[in-house]
Structure 1
Amino acid sequence: MDIAQQVPQHPRVRDVLGDQCQRLFFEYLESFDDNEKKIMIDELCQPQRSTVLINYRHLSNFNDRLARVIQDEYYRLLPALSRGLKQFFREHLPKIEMEAEKLERFKRTVLNDKELYVAFSDVQMRYKLRNLNTSKMGMLIRITGQVIRTYPVHPELVSATFICSDCQMVCPDVEQQFRFTQPLMCRNPVCNNRVHFALDLTRSRFVDFQKVRIQESQSELPHGNIPRCLDIIMRNECVEQAKPGDRCDFIGTLIVLPDVSQLSMPGVRAESAQRTQGSDDKGYNAEGVRGLKALGVRDLTYHLAFLACHITPAEQTNIETLLNSDSKKKRIETMMTDKNLFANLRTSLFPTIYGNDEIKSGTRSSVPSLVTSYTFNDIRDYITYTKAAVQPKLTSSAKEHIITLYKQLRLRETSSSITGRISSSSTPITVRQLESLIRLSEAIAKMYCQEDIDIKHVQEAYRLLSKAIIHVDQPDIDLNEYNRSTTITDENIEIEQEPIITTKEEMKISVDEYKRLTNMMVYQLRKMDEEQETESQTSSSTTIIMPGVKRRELINWVLEQLADEINSLDELARKKATLDKIIDRLVHVDEILIQLDKRTISQFGVTTETKDSTNVEQQEDEDNEDPEGNNLYLIVHPNYVAEDQ
């Protein structure tokens, strides 16, 4: 027994207007003939269907007053219309002449398990995105826009059932308004729980939910203004009906959503606290809320969104209409026989832009007025005709040519390792570029109304695609850009400048090779550092181990790794000089390596006191005989992250 039902409840406020519209909508559904009723039943029997589409103009012809009320109070009347729809099926289902098995399945799977919804089509009241404001909220309207982004479909909780964690009382049908909402309090009159509830997934109701973002079309954009955007919320059958780039009509209502993320910003947490300090036995303790600076003081912002119930493509001229018009048909035939169609289309679309033919060839039309060869309407009608009437197929020769050209694109990207230069494009050459090449070839064949995609179409598509891929050449690294500062007298200026000039061209290295050698040295230095750290932890000796690796030892190790690439003593000397220059650049320019000199060594605790006089003198002799710094130690900068090889 439900305890909550035994307690007197406050009478619910009845929506008189909603009850009247429910009754009138029920009468409207009764006017349907048997065939229309059977069609509705067949559609709702499908697992993914739960919405009945009503033609608004047909409803207006039946009862104009009901249609106007629905248009003005659409969002408010949605629950009443859904109740009227279910009432209609419950009362008229036995009267419909259909198979008993189908009627029983409809009653079991639809009336008992599904929540039915009502959507409208053919709504004439249309508004521009720029004219939407709060006065249009809740009304049934139509808007048009270009889809610029779609979000993934995910389930949305619309009606939740909760279980009280204290007394296990069931709290059904808690409406969710675009955010997770728990019951205000438990239904059990002897339970004062207001916080601890558990969601019952099996008895809660979910629907498909998707959000898309649209932008006002170019024709509606005032001169000099930035296009405005709006979020569209779609549920049930409306999901996955719009793709980026589509121009669609959305029928539904404008709603306002609170920006609840403002309430969960990091900062002071809202907590319960006593207003009066100290203990009070007289019951005057009052609990308040601290942390209002992080919650209530901030202004709660809102944003407008559009709840769509029906989506259709924007107004488009179909092929039958084009062919029925003699003037349009003649104009299409003229364009089909135009030998310079490609060039004329470019000139017509962009009459005020000189040059840049490749960019204009690959750009979609968005110009509202054209003044040359063809008008905007001519081009739009021609595109509509070719998209519907022409479906070209790839020939065998065109397929082979596409494979050859795609290989050329791939080889052009990988040829840097052979030439010694690296050439990176703004768009990596992947299978997507292969698909773009095929689509461009098909579009060019359609433009000429050709049934077969030939080699000439593929070649033109390849030319456009090659122009669209921007290549950025990265020059070789000049290792002579940095030279270690040495003490130079007036006597040896000419002597030391001469080899710098002669070897400058030889001290250039490609970016790939520079990165490869850098990663090798970084790997070895970090490996040696880990080994030294492990040795110091396991050793009981008090001797302090110097961090890093000597410069000459690192160079010798790299030369050993490159032994297969060195074929002569001269090449060995050049490679050694190159590694020496690379280390200088890594230390002083890129700051990837750190070089430890005498002043830095003392910071690690290695002082002359830990060594005898003989070792100290020997160390000083090595330093004096090492002007190149080969005995100095190198370590990797702790903040450097090596690139993936």
Structure 2
Amino acid sequence: MAICPILKSNFNRNSRAFVMMMADSQNTMVGPGLHRPSAILGGVERAVDETGEKLREEFLSFLENYRDNGLRRPTSDTLTSEPPSMTSDLPFYKQQLWEMRNEGTLTLYVDYNHLFRYNDVLANAITANFYRFEPFLRTALHSFVTANMPSYARISNSNQPREFWISIYGLGVIHRLRELTTQKVGQLMSISGTVTRTSEVRPELYVGVFRCAECMSIVRNVEQQFKYTEPSICPNSYCQNRRNWTLIPEQSTFVNWQRVRIQENATEIPPGSMPRCLDVVVRNDMVERAKAGDKCIFVGTLVVVPDVAQLGLPGSKLESNAEGRSRGAGEGVSGLRQLGVRELAYKLSFLASMVQPSHVNHGAVNIRNDDDMDCDTAEQQEAIFSAAELEEIHRMRNTPQLYSRLVGSMAPSIYGHSEVKTGILLMLFGGVHKVTPEGINLRGDINVCIVGDPGTAKSQFLRYVVGFLPRSVYTSGKASSAAGLTASVLKDDETGDFTIEAGALMLADNGICAIDEFDKMDLRDQVAIHEAMEQQTISIAKAGIQATLNARTSILAAANPIGGRYDRRRTLRQNIAMTAPIMSRFDLFFVILDECDEQADYSIARHILNVHRLQDDALAPEFSPEQIQRYIKYARAIKPRLTEEASAVLVERYRQLRQNDVSGGGASYRMTVRQLESMIRLSEAIARLHSDSEVKAIYVREAARLLKSSIIRVETDNIDLDAAEKEWQQAANQMEGNPITETASTKLSLRYEDYVRISNLLVYQLRRIEAIIDTQDEESTNEPGGMKKSSLLEWYMGQIEDEMQTEEDFHHRRREVSAVVERLVHKDGVLIELGVRSEDVAEFDPILVVHPNYVPL
């Protein structure tokens, strides 16, 4: 719990004056609540709260005179009718009053630090008894508006005064929900929590005007005590009516009202405890500011309200069923258990006067709320970012190799995995949301799935993204049900109506939903998120509620392979417990393998030890998380468009993917139109990363490469060399005139990494020989470049002779490298044979050269 340093240093010094003020107030108060507007009962005058009047005068002086030259002044576009007397020396809150008039708002926002610097005794008094002094603050505000802007103080075409409201923010102490007890009732405080449910905006009777049904007297300014409150007695001394009242709606005051249910933040829940909830009441300009899934800070006061769910029907007694049971005449009193237990009729609620997102206090930036905003002009950008932030963003934009540097700054505590970091970075930038002429929404959010062996930092990636983005939800697949992921329908205890409780995907709307242990989810729970992943909506038809809710979120999932370890001999679909519809909805699949490599293991171990030993000093990313957040927020306002060249490249790449899918023969990952849309989204995200308004062909090639490296490479992990060897044997038999026979032999296969390593080694040797021949004098040799096949095989066997122990190993390795050469020549087209194949196949030894257009992997 952070404490404001100004409060901490000065509170003790002002405690004596504060106690004297409170003692003075006790002498003038007749009873609690008499300072609030109420009717004069029986000719008795209302008691005057002298302390409240003094506080009202002091607060009015604060509004009239406080100046702060270091804060933002109103701009010309916010002041449509700037008065001639307005100068840079105008008091701060008079400037805000002009902004209120031009924007049509009725709430004045007061910084608590301003109040404390102006008069610390005044600030302490407001903090200790905010609910008591709040009417005096509003009276001072109305006097302030009347003195400076009389036309705005009254409703147009009417003599009725406007209702103005005070909203105080900037308190140094943020309380947890578990700290709210009855000792803090009526105090000004700020609390934090996650919004789980919001009600619709309703009109609330704030101050009622009643007519006596017996003598027709009018009773005004009857404040409602969080329920429908009638006057206690008629002011007419001859009437004495207490029950028969009629509300006059046209003369009463109604305000906007909304109830928000918040829950403890995940980091604040003690071990072994359930998260606690609290109802927050917001009014006027604060309604519709908090939505389900937001982490917000509420500033206001703790109040005691009637528990409507426990009250039952009007007039019924609050007693348990045991007391109401009929007892026989001779039973008598049988004990305390038969007497019944009286239930509680009140509960704690929070009356909020200010609602703001919690990431503002932590320095984070919500990068996804402005996705529908266009910031093409400098004025629109200045409205979001300051001049220093814009300068920093432009400097990052012009940084050489920005793509690789941003990737290097993502998740610095995780060593390596640059491809995974690239996919997560593009997921944060996202594609462009589109709407077809038929009204169909095309999603721009990118879904990423990480599949890997245990201990490969899958969950760390999810935790990093949840901490990086303010609006994000972390959940586990096994511990989440279908209703918990999407939405559930519950019955409201107070109204009895059915309401919708938001699930994880709804809470992560305009954010990211991180689902760990995705493979452990039940099949019916996976089916529940089909619609949310592609259409980004959740349809509900339960308990008479038919609704379609938004779930515009990116899904970052982590899954373990079947059996715990990824089996290269199987395909991607055979390694994970996912259905084909779910797999097709992920834009990127990343497979992380735990392989034994001496150099990589040493680097990882050294990095982990440095993180444990030096902590933050061991991490030196080029860009801080705040800089990346501001840049992403700036880039997401750009709507890149496809060019003709980029469209042609997209079509060609998609055609190649489909051809490779068909020619693969029973491939496990089926290429569909969704993969074409994935390439479009990835291309738009790369264009946003470079702050480019057009999607260029180079961005499409990078998107296709990323898609291929994440999906296609997994499908080609195991290279089948039997086909190449059989083709070569069949060709040799045909040249000799022998009949083609199937020879029984062991299956020859090779891992993809080993195949790439051997092919790169052979290509390197051939190019080295070609470079040596090219440097020699052309007259000294008439031999073409390259090497004979037999010489190349002998050279390779000499390179690996230390790895062979037996003669069987020698023959197996020679057969392996010979099949690799045949595949490179006849299928991949990497090598070219020079020479004419003679009738004697056994003596044919061609010269091998590398294809001039080949680029090693």
TM-score by length of 2: 0.39
Q: 1:308 aligns with which of 337, 342, 352?
A: 352
Matched, 1:66 2:66: no
1:362 paired residue number = 555
Residue type matched to 1:9 in 2?
G
Q: 2:165 aligns with which of 112, 117, 126?
A: 117
CA RMSD of aligned residues (A): 5.1
Matched, 1:240 2:296: no
Matched, 1:341 2:421: yes
Q: CA 1:314–1:306 in 2, change beyond 3 Å: closer, same or farther?
A: same
Q: 2:634 aligns with which of 374, 388, 397?
A: 388
Matched, 1:350 2:464: no
How far apart are 1:256 and its partner, in Å?
Answer: 2.0
Q: CA 1:113–1:7 in 2, change beyond 3 Å: closer, same or farther?
A: closer
Q: Partners in 2 of 1:375 and 1:364 — Cα distance?
A: 27
- Residues 150 and 244 of structure 1 are in contact (CA less than 8 Å); yes or no, is this contact kept in structure 2? yes
> CA deviation digits over 1:139-163, x for unaligned, max 9?
1111222222211111110100011
How far apart are 1:48 and its partner, in Å?
Answer: 5.0
Gaps of 5+ in 1: 97-102, 271-295, 406-433, 465-645
Matched, 1:207 2:255: yes
TM-score by length of 1: 0.50
Q: 1:85 aligns with which of 141, 160, 173?
A: 141
Residue type matched to 2:178 in 1?
R
Matched, 1:317 2:364: yes
How far apart are 1:15 and its partner, in Å?
Answer: 2.0
Q: CA 1:146–1:441 in 2, change beyond 3 Å: closer, same or farther?
A: farther
How far apart are 1:65 and its partner, in Å?
Answer: 0.7
- Residues 251 and 311 of structure 1 are in contact (CA less than 8 Å); yes or no, is this contact kept in structure 2? yes
Q: Partners in 1 of 2:102 and 2:302 — Cα distance?
A: 29
How far apart are 1:438 and its partner, in Å?
Answer: 9.1
Q: Partners in 1 of 2:125 and 2:298 — Cα distance?
A: 20
- Residues 348 and 374 of structure 1 are in contact (CA less than 8 Å); yes or no, is this contact kept in structure 2? no
Q: Partners in 1 of 2:302 and 2:45 — Cα distance?
A: 31
Q: Partners in 2 of 1:443 and 1:193 — Cα distance?
A: 73
Q: How many residues align?
A: 390
2:374 paired residue number = none
SS at match of 1:124: coil
Q: CA 1:261–1:34 in 2, change beyond 3 Å: closer, same or farther?
A: same
Q: After superposition, where does 1:100-499 map in structure 2 within 5 Å?
A: 103-104=150-151, 106-107=153-154, 109=156, 112-265=160-313, 298-315=342-359, 316-318=363-365, 332=406, 334-335=408-409, 338-341=418-421, 348=457, 350-351=459-460, 356=519, 362-363=555-556, 382-383=628-629, 385-390=631-636, 391-393=638-640, 395=642, 446=685, 449=689, 452=695
- Residues 208 and 252 of structure 2 are in contact (CA less than 8 Å); yes or no, is this contact kept in structure 1? yes
Q: Partners in 2 of 1:145 and 1:12 — Cα distance?
A: 40
Q: Partners in 2 of 1:8 and 1:439 — Cα distance?
A: 77
How far apart are 1:308 and its partner, in Å?
Answer: 1.1
Residue type matched to 2:354 in 1?
H
Q: CA 1:237–1:374 in 2, change beyond 3 Å: closer, same or farther?
A: farther
Q: CA 1:210–1:114 in 2, change beyond 3 Å: closer, same or farther?
A: same
Q: 1:9 aligns with which of 43, 64, 67?
A: 43
Q: Partners in 2 of 1:29 and 1:378 — Cα distance?
A: 39
Matched, 1:26 2:60: yes
> CA deviation digits over 1:568-594, x for unaligned, max 9?
xxxxxxxxxxxxxxxxxxxxxxxxxxx
SS at match of 2:219: strand
How far apart are 1:265 and its partner, in Å?
Answer: 4.0
Residue type matched to 2:106 in 1?
S
How far apart are 1:299 and its partner, in Å?
Answer: 1.9
Q: Partners in 2 of 1:440 and 1:196 — Cα distance?
A: 71
- Residues 211 and 247 of structure 2 are in contact (CA less than 8 Å); yes or no, is this contact kept in structure 1? yes
2:752 paired residue number = none
Q: CA 1:52–1:105 in 2, change beyond 3 Å: closer, same or farther?
A: closer
Q: Partners in 2 of 1:263 and 1:167 — Cα distance?
A: 32
How far apart are 1:389 and its partner, in Å?
Answer: 2.7
Gaps of 5+ in 2: 1-37, 67-88, 319-339, 366-384, 411-416, 426-449, 451-455, 462-515, 527-532, 534-553, 559-607, 655-672, 712-857
> CA deviation digits over 1:420-463, x for unaligned, max 9?
xxxxxxxxxxxxxx9xx999986995488365496969x98xx9
Q: CA 1:8–1:379 in 2, change beyond 3 Å: closer, same or farther?
A: closer
How far apart are 1:312 and its partner, in Å?
Answer: 1.6
Q: Partners in 1 of 2:409 and 2:164 — Cα distance?
A: 50
Q: Partners in 1 of 2:245 and 2:422 — Cα distance?
A: 67
Q: CA 1:42–1:217 in 2, change beyond 3 Å: closer, same or farther?
A: same
How far apart are 1:323 and its partner, in Å?
Answer: 8.6
Q: Partners in 1 of 2:679 and 2:308 — Cα distance?
A: 45
SS at match of 1:350: helix
How far apart are 1:115 and its partner, in Å?
Answer: 1.7
SS at match of 2:175: coil
Q: Which has the higher helix share?
A: 1
SS at match of 2:261: strand
How far apart are 1:301 and its partner, in Å?
Answer: 3.3
Residue type matched to 1:334 in 2?
G
How far apart are 1:21 and its partner, in Å?
Answer: 0.9
2:778 paired residue number = none
1:410 paired residue number = none
How far apart are 1:317 and its partner, in Å?
Answer: 2.9
